[in-house]
C-alpha cells in the first residue's frame, strides 16, 4: 500500500484521479488539496462521493506532503508545477504532473508555445514523458513524470507505428481532432457554457494549439527526423471523449496487411490499446469512462493516403487514467490495477 496525494483535486482531471485512486487496492489517498474549497469535505463539492469519500480538502503544502506521501499528482494549469517542484521535493517523493510544464524537452519550445517562463529547467531535463506504451522502461526509474496531454495521447498512439516503421511520408501528416467540453477544464469561460457549446461544433486554436509541439516531439523521436504537421482541434457538444482522424500519404505501396502488421508489432501486447476490425472504426462511446485507446485505419488507394482514427476518454487515458497507469509502472503494480473497467453504455 502506497500513500498518494492530489494537488488540484476539484478540477475535472483531479476529480477523475480521486475516483480512480479511491478504488485502487494498492493506494491510500491521504491528502487532497483545493484553493477554492479548502476545509470542505470532498463529498460536499462532488455529491456523487457521498457515503464514499469524506476526506477533507486541505490547503496545499507540497513540502509537507512530500515528506508524508509516496507519490503526488499535480492537476494544475500550465506554469504552476515548475514553481512548486525542486530537488528537495524529488528527494522525498515521486511526482506525476498532469500539466504541461515538463512535457516538452526543449526549454525554448515550452516558453514560446506557452508564453510563460519555466522555473526549473534543470528538472525539465530529467522529466520522463509518460506515454506509457512508448516509454515504459524510462518511467520505471523516474522521479518526475510528465503526463501527456489528451489530444497528444490519442494522436501519437494513432500514428506511432506508421512513423516508426517508415510507412508514411512524414511531411504529409494532418490531424483533425475533436474533444468534449471537459477538455477545457472546470473554470468558468463564456465560450464553454451550455448555450455557447450546445447545437454547435467549432474549430479553435487553428495552427496554434499547444499540444502541437508535443505531438511533433514524440513522432520526430520515433521517425528519427524532424516532423512538422497540421493539427486542428474542434470542440463538440459532449462532456468527454476525443476522436482524432489522422491523414498521411503512404509509401512503399503498403497494403492493409502491412499496416496491420505494423500496429500489431507495437500494440499486440498492450492491454489498453485496442485495434478495431477491418472497416470498423472507433467511437468515443466505446471508450468513455475507460483507459482504453481504440485505433482503426483505412487505406484510400484512390488518393494513396491512409486515414487513422483513434478514440480515448480525455479524462481517463487522456489524463487521470494514464497518470495512474504511470503510477502503477513506477511502483511495480500491474498496469491494469484500478483501471480495468469497461466503458458504461449507454451514458
Taken in order of first residue, the domains within the chain and their CATH numbers are: 2-126 (3.40.50.720), 151-312 (3.30.360.10)
* Predicted confidence band of residue 259 (pLDDT cuts 50, 70, 90): very high
What is the chain's mean pLDDT, rounded?
Answer: 94
pLDDT one-digit tens code per residue, 157-174: 999 999 999 999 999 999
pLDDT at 188 over 70: no
What do you get for the CA distance between the two ends of the chain, in Å? 33
Alpha-carbon span 29 to 42, nearest angstrom:
12
- Nearest alpha-carbon partner for 82 in 69, 95, 92, 67: 95
pLDDT at 331 over 80: yes
Alpha-carbon span 234 to 201, nearest angstrom:
7
Give me the pLDDT at residue 168, please. 97
Alpha helices by DSSP H, listed for the chain, are 12-22, 42-45, 62-68, 81-84, 87-92, 107-114, 121-124, 132-140, 150-164, 194-197, 212-223, 256-267, 321-330
- Write down the catalytic residue from 150, 154, 246, 293: 150
pLDDT at 214 over 80: yes
* Predicted confidence band of residue 49 (pLDDT cuts 50, 70, 90): confident
Alpha-carbon span 12 to 140, nearest angstrom:
27
pLDDT one-digit tens code per residue, 88-134: 999 999 999 999 999 999 999 999 999 999 999 999 999 999 999 99
Alpha-carbon span 219 to 223, nearest angstrom:
6
Annotated catalytic residue 31? no
Give me the pLDDT at residue 115, please. 94
Alpha-carbon span 178 to 48, nearest angstrom:
28
Give me the pLDDT at residue 253, please. 82
Give mean pLDDT, residues 49-54.
Answer: 82
Interhelix angle 321-330/132-140, nearest 10 degrees: 40
Amino acid at each position: 500500500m502506497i500513500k498518494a496525494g492530489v494537488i488540484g483535486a476539484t478540477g475535472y482531471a483531479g476529480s477523475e484521479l480521486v475516483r480512480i485512486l479511491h478504488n485502487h487496492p494498492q493506494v491510500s489517498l491521504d491528502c487532497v488539496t483545493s484553493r477554492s474549497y479548502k476545509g470542505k469535505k470532498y463529498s460536499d463539492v462532488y455529491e456523487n462521493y457521498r457515503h464514499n469519500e469524506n476526506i477533507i480538502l486541505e490547503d496545499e503544502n507540497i513540502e509537507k506532503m512530500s515528506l508524508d506521501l509516496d507519490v503526488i499528482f499535480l492537476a494544475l494549469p500550465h506554469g504552476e508545477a515548475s514553481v512548486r517542484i525542486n530537488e528537495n521535493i524529488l528527494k522525498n517523493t515521486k511526482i506525476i504532473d498532469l500539466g504541461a510544464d515538463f512535457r516538452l524537452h526543449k526549454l525554448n519550445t515550452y516558453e514560446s508555445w506557452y508564453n510563460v517562463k519555466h522555473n526549473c529547467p534543470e528538472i525539465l531535463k530529467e522529466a520522463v514523458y509518460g506515454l506509457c506504451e512508448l516509454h515504459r522502461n524510462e518511467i520505471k526509474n523516474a522521479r518526475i513524470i510528465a503526463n501527456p496531454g489528451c489530444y497528444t495521447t490519442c494522436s501519437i498512439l494513432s500514428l506511432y507505428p506508421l512513423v516508426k516503421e517508415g510507412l508514411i511520408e512524414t511531411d504529409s501528416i494532418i490531424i483533425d481532432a475533436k474533444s468534449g467540453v471537459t477538455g477545457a477544464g472546470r473554470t468558468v469561460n463564456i465560450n464553454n457554457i451550455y448555450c455557447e457549446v450546445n447545437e454547435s461544433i467549432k474549430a479553435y486554436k487553428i495552427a496554434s494549439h499547444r499540444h502541437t509541439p508535443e505531438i511533433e516531439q514524440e513522432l520526430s523521436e520515433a521517425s528519427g527526423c524532424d516532423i512538422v504537421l497540421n493539427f486542428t482541434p474542434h470542440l463538440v457538444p459532449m462532456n468527454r471523449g476525443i476522436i482524432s482522424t489522422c491523414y498521411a500519404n503512404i509509401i512503399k505501396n503498403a497494403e492493409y496487411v502491412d499496416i496491420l502488421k505494423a500496429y500489431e508489432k507495437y500494440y499486440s501486447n498492450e492491454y489498453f490499446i485496442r485495434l478495431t476490425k477491418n472497416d470498423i472504426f472507433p467511437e468515443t462511446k466505446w471508450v468513455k469512462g475507460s483507459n482504453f485507446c481504440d485505433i482503426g485505419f483505412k487505406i484510400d488507394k484512390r488518393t494513396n493516403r491512409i486515414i487513422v482514427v483513434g478514440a480515448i476518454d480525455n479524462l481517463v487515458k487522456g489524463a487521470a487514467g494514464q497518470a495512474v497507469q504511470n503510477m502503477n509502472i513506477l511502483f511495480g503494480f500491474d498496469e491494469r490495477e484500478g483501471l480495468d473497467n469497461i466503458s458504461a453504455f449507454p451514458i
